[in-house]
Chain A
Amino acid sequence: MPNIKLKNIKNFICQEINLEIFDKEFLVLWGPTGAGKTTLLNVIAGLTEYEGSVLFDDVSVDKLPVFRRKTGYLFQNLILFPHLNVKLNIAYGLRVQGKLKDEVESRVDELLKLMEMEHLAERYPKDLSGGEKQRVALARAVAPSPKIMLFDEPLNSLDFNTARYLRTEIHKLQRKLGIVTIYVTHCFEEAFALADRVVVLDNGRIVQIDFPENIFKKDNCRMIIEKKYCDCHQEDKTEPGQIELLRDRISLCHLVNE
């Protein structure tokens, strides 16, 4: 059963987007700059104006303000709060939602342990490396146990090795938490390594929705990949056929065919 439905989404970028996202699915939105990937994430999070309808579990959330949609958002530039240390950054979502102090502390400790960053707890964002900031932002986004995780090109600013390592971490975490995840990227390796399904966007429209291994088989997508959008990490010369897909993907064929 679809967990999120987007019906006729229109705004200054998106043009009649219809999309169904399934429970526990890792969906990658893939396309060039200006394709409407981030705008679509913002529509789901309620951070931008739109026409049409967004449904979570078949319930419309169009009238819900951002803070009631319960989405976890990992922004492109991470946006850690500079005046809060790592612990307080992670606890922020829980504290503003009025959770009890003990509950907040145990959740923060759990995430610090899970992300292997107990030693960073008292540090401030200015004292963290790019990869550490990334992990803190990720922990902060998942701390309030969101129903949906939204990732906006979170690995862009990192070097190739750190990005590859964190990509695996994100994937593992998503599988562990079982949260429906929408991940924006313009890097095809990332898209193909992580996705259960890939949505190819261009000029505010959905060009293709398919499983990663099928995307290359379609002529229109092959053209997009080969001629237009291969602009991920410079060190990354991986050919599409050589990409190692991360294990433990859930097959959604039957869901789509239903």
Chain B
Amino acid sequence: MKKIKFVYNLIPVLVFLLIWEIIVRLKFVPGHFFFPPFTVVIQEFYHLTANGVLGDNFLSSLFRVLIGLFAGSTAGIAIGILMGYERLIDKIAHPILSLFYPIPALGWLPILMLWFGIGEILPILIIFICSFFPVLYNTITGIKGVDKEFIKAAQSLGASEWKILTTIVIPLALPNIFTGLRLEAGMAWRVIIAAEMVAIPTGIGALLMRAESLLRIDIIIVCLIVLALMCLIFERFFIYLEYKLTHKWRQYA
């Protein structure tokens, strides 16, 4: 059943690629130079992979995303749990965090460039900021949303505050926490590409900018395809992880 669904989902994509190829090959658009056919993009993809350019830049971006996402999510979940569970911490931290939340991650780029210079720390910090806030707020919502009746029941069974937090509150907040992680997994890739395009000399974003300066639209499309695939893979990974951890007990509509 899953295989059939996958094939059904694949058909529109294949049709789209076929139309792309036909339109360009039949010269409905002016020249291969500005809009290369899909097969040429694939050839370039192979070429960039073979000579290691794509691999190196991809690994640079992947490393930054993984470190930044891990650090930002961990901090977001930890502080979110504290703020969601302890009213006093929420009261103190909420006004401060509310001030920073509306600032887009890329808005921090100029000041972070001045503080930390251009290096590995800069894109990691950008990803950290980008993933921290949504994970934080989703975690707070999840923790606060746990029905107080469950806490009362756990108390009556002899559970201490710590046990209630770890065995009841956090597991029941998981769906909300994963919503934050899922949203941020894709967003981290979008932000890292933007940061690399503006300020970092390595990574997929930087490769995009170099391709633009060399007027290599085929390379630009290769980079965009890699970006799209990574956003998709990261989002799917968190959907899979959430399903694995919660599907046994959750009611799905």
A residues at B contact (CB < 8 Å):
45, 47, 65-68, 70-73, 75, 77, 79, 81-85, 92-93, 95-97, 124-126, 140-141, 144
Contacts and interface: CB of A to CB of B under 8 A. Distances in A.
A30 B250 CA distance: 36
Interface of B: 147, 149-150, 152-160, 163, 167-168, 171-172, 246, 248-251
Point out which of A71, A81, A85, A144 has the most chain B C-beta atoms below 10 A from its C-beta.
Answer: A81
B249 A72 contact: no
Given A79-B150, A96-B167, A47 B249 contact: no
Given A75-B153, A96-B154, 6 more contacts: A47-B152, A47-B155, A68-B158, A72-B157, A96-B157, A124-B248
Contact of A93 (B158, B160, B171): B158
A81 B248 contact: no
A73 B155 CA distance: 10
Given A77-B149, A96-B167, A125 B157 contact: no
A188 B118 CA distance: 78
Given A83-B171, A83-B249, A124-B248, A75 B157 contact: no
Given A67-B158, A70-B158, A96-B159, A75 B152 contact: yes
Given A81-B150, A83-B171, A83-B246, A126 B156 contact: no
19 contacts: A45-B156, A67-B155, A67-B157, A71-B156, A72-B157, A75-B149, A77-B149, A79-B150, A81-B153, A82-B249, A83-B171, A92-B154, A96-B154, A96-B159, A97-B158, A125-B249, A141-B157, A144-B157, A144-B158
Contact of B153 (A79, A95, A144): A79
A45 B248 CA distance: 32
A130 to B, nearest CB: 16
Nearest to B162: A96
Contacts of A47: 152, 155-156
Contacts of A126: 249-251
Nearest to B246: A83
B25 to A, nearest CB: 54
B160 A67 contact: yes
Nearest to A95: B167
Contacts of A124: 248-249
Nearest to B251: A126
Contacts of B157: 67, 72-73, 92-93, 96, 140-141, 144
Given A70-B158, A96-B158, A96-B167, A79 B249 contact: no
A94 B198 CA distance: 57
B172 A83 contact: yes
Contacts of B147: 79
Nearest to B160: A67
Contacts of A75: 149, 152-153
B156 A66 contact: yes
B149 to A, nearest CB: 5
A67 B152 contact: no
A125 B172 CA distance: 14
Point out which of B153, B156, B251 has the most chain A C-beta atoms below 10 A from its C-beta.
Answer: B156
B150 A96 contact: no
Contacts of A95: 167
A145 to B, nearest CB: 11
A72 B155 CA distance: 10
B145 to A, nearest CB: 13
Contacts of A82: 172, 249-250
Given A79-B150, A81-B168, A83-B172, A73 B248 contact: no
A75 B251 CA distance: 22
A72 B249 CA distance: 25
A233 to B, nearest CB: 24
B242 to A, nearest CB: 13
Point out which of B167, B171, B250 has the most chain A C-beta atoms below 10 A from its C-beta.
Answer: B167
Contacts of A71: 156
A97 B152 CA distance: 16
B166 to A, nearest CB: 10
Which 5 pairs between the two chains have the least Cβ-Cβ distance?
A93-B157, A73-B156, A96-B159, A66-B155, A79-B153
A135 to B, nearest CB: 16
A84 B158 CA distance: 17
Contact of B152 (A79, A141, A144): A79
A126 B248 CA distance: 9
A124 B251 CA distance: 11
A180 to B, nearest CB: 16
A167 to B, nearest CB: 22
